[in-house]
Amino acid sequence: MNALIIDSYYVAWRELKKYFRGKTRLIVTVIQPFLWLVLMGNAMSRLTNNPFAAQLLGTGNYLTFMTPGVILMTVMFSSIFSGTTVVWDRRFGYLDKLLAAPIKRGAIPFGKMAASAVQGLLQAVIIVIVALLFGVKFQSGFLGVLAILFIAMLLSFILAGFSLALSVKIKTIETLMAVINLFMMPLMFASNALFPVKVMPAWLKAIAKVNPITYAIIPMRDLTVSGWSIHILWYTLAILAIDAVVMLWTNWVFKNAVAE
Amino acid sequence: MNEAIVVENLKKVYSNGVEAVRDISFSVHYGEIFGFLGPNGAGKSTTIKTVIGLLKPTEGKIFLDGIDTLKDPYKARLVKGYASQETAVDDRLTAYENIYLQGKYFHMESSEIEKNAEKLLKMFGLWERRNALVETFSGGMMKRLDIAAALIHQPKILFLDEPTLGLDIQTRSAIWDYIRKFKENGMTIFLTTHYLEEADALCDRVAIIDKGKIMALDRPGALKSQIGGDLITMTFKEDDVSKYLEKIKEIPEIKEVARMENGVYSIVVEKNGDEMIPRLFKMADEFGVHITSVRLKRPTLDDVYMKYTGRTIREAESTRDEGRKMRMMKRRMKR
């Protein structure tokens, strides 16, 4: 167990070292939430002039409604590409180097997932700051914001794990990208990230109701729009449980990575 | 078991049915440089990857330093270092970070890594550039770093898969010198190569591998002597040199003397043709014969390869995936 944590730490260390070295990537990380909140937020701000819409959103401020959605989307889009690092590592032989070393196999995905969670956390912090600057009020207070950041990290962990598990079988970046995009776009737009489920047409509503993204946003949105409630705990526990399942899955996949 | 590497009846069939390795057995002594020579696609990389535990053997047993790699893979990984043919260094990290991480993957203390890394980086001439990003390195520097990183935990056995693939002559010979130095320090080295000169210059023993089988295994010199002796060809100023030729036929090491076209004579020597030439000159003086040209051709490992497979390594190469390999190298250069 101890060795697994230490090994994961050094796998994550490598990823984060490179992440913070990539200046362009860091700048994009900061700019992206600005764009989302400014463009989308402005475009939709008139919506809340309509009292009916405001009631549907649960808040008189569209930005407040949208902020958790933006957090989730940003985290999702960065962590889901975590698997590309494995495809690269395989391409230039680094994966073999890791597999030939006496590290725990599971440390490879766990380290990369942890690095992704740290990146997700960083992005979520930036979005929260930008949202506060635009006048978004988090109803659950400072502790609620911490809870939102925690949930964002957990989600990042899940999505990175999902992507890493896929990357073991998918040998090219292009294929991995295609597979990911196939899932990502519908998951994103058929969810409550940007619009409340209530305003959707029936068919889209049906999809949104079985979309895991919808359920991932609910606790974050509740913390932002309406404040603390007991079901936030249940949702968080459910997300934690999925985290555990994803960890078991990736561990299994990487253990069998040498099976051929 | 007093051998560094023991491989018994190793077979590897990939899931797509390709039989990459067909029943290979060999052992490598402690402290020797052992080479696998063969064209691309002969099964060299599959063998090395199976021996170090990156691939599961379909059948067979592997022992590294007496450890059964299938029963105790963790312990087996500790005794060996490995540098793959792809030069697996992370170019977005510095040279030092690369080597540091490798040490950490082998669960070394930071202080021990620092000590070994300094020694290795200095030895490989990379100490001055230790804090530079590897993306600024040349191909040769990357390869040196890769090998240095493989040595950070002071392995007993070092595995090098095509250590000089795509490198220029100077870098190649520098790497040969390093490899010889490791041997002097008592390390066992297993390498694969498709360069004849490399196998010849470096290896104590060579296994010639083709289509997943070992065709021959011996010292390079012994393998070459199977082919027959050295061939000396000569031309003379005089037309009639029969008396001289009669005389040299009496030398026991000389197996055959024959007249070829255009006044060229061929002399087959059992071995050490280079030492025979001065003797032949001296005798020519005694007989008043003037030698106008002389040429020595010694058998190469390619001749050995030819004997066992019916084609030369280069022929085998050109038909196989050399193109694929070049594309891979180019892609790497672009990155």
Residue numbers of A between 203 and 232 with CB closer than 8 Å to B: none
At the top level of CATH, the class of B228-297 is alpha beta
Residue numbers of B between 7 and 36 with CB closer than 8 Å to A: 14-15
**A1 reaches B (C-beta below 8 A):** no
Q: What is the residue extent of each domain of chain B?
A: 5-79+155-224, 228-297
User: What are the residues facing B269 on neighbouring strands?
Assistant: B230, B254
Contacts of A101 in chain B (CB under 8 A): 77, 102, 105-106
pLDDT, one tens digit per residue, over A75-134 is 888 898 899 999 999 888 899 999 999 999 899 999 999 999 999 999 899 999 989 988
B178: left (phi over 0), alpha (psi -120 to 50) or beta: alpha
Max Cα-Cα span within chain B = 78
Q: Report the residue count for chain B.
A: 335
Nearest-angstrom CA–CA distance, A66 and A221: 8
Mean pLDDT of chain A: 88
Mean pLDDT score, A30-56: 77
Q: How many CB atoms lie within 10 A of CB B154?
A: 14
Q: CA of B54: which chain A residue's CA is closest? A: A258
Q: Report the residue count for chain A.
A: 260
The answer to whether residue B38 scores a pLDDT higher than 60 is yes
Q: What is the pLDDT of residue A121?
A: 92
Residue B192, Cα to own-chain centre: how many angstroms? 6
CB contact under 8 A, B332 and A92: yes
Q: What DSSP line would sit under B205-232, residue for residue?
A: EEEEEETTEEEEEE-HHHHHHTT--EEE
**A94 reaches B (C-beta below 8 A):** yes
Q: Which of A12, A127, A114, A146 is nearest to A72 (CA)?
A: A127
CB contact under 8 A, B85 and A93: yes
CB contact under 8 A, A260 and B55: yes
Q: Of A28-42, A137-151, A238-252, B171-185, where does mean pLDDT reach its minimum? A: A28-42
At the top level of CATH, the class of B5-79+155-224 is alpha beta
Full domain range(s) for residue A235: 2-258
Total domain count, chain A:
1
User: What are the residues facing B157 on neighbouring strands?
Assistant: B80, B188
Tokens for A165, please give them: 């598990």
User: What are the residues facing B28 on neighbouring strands?
Assistant: B5
Q: Choose among A17, A93, A101: nearest Cβ to B93.
A: A17
Q: Give the residue with greater pLDDT, A247 vs A47.
A: A247
The answer to whether residue A245 scores a pLDDT higher than 90 is yes
CB contact under 8 A, A260 and B49: no
Q: What is the model's pTM?
A: 0.83
Mean pLDDT score, B229-251: 87
In chain B, alpha helices (H): 44-51, 73-78, 95-105, 110-123, 139-150, 169-184, 196-202, 220-225, 242-248, 273-286, 301-309, 313-319, 322-334
Q: At B18, phi and psi to the nearest 5?
A: -70, 125
Distance from the Cα of B106 to chain A's closest Cα (Å) equals: 6
Residue numbers of B between 52 and 91 with CB closer than 8 Å to A: 52-56, 74, 77-78, 80, 82, 84-90
User: What are the residues facing B231 on neighbouring strands?
Assistant: B268, B297
What separation in angstroms does the CA of A159 have from each of A94, A136, A171, A247, B137? 23, 27, 19, 11, 35
Nearest-angstrom CA–CA distance, B142 and B120: 14
pLDDT, one tens digit per residue, over B182-224 is 999 999 999 999 888 899 889 999 999 988 999 999 999 888 8
Distance from the Cα of B332 to chain A's closest Cα (Å) equals: 8
3-state secondary structure of B161: strand
Q: How many H-runs (helices) and E-runs (strands) does chain A carry? A: 13, 0
The answer to whether residue A167 scores a pLDDT higher than 80 is yes
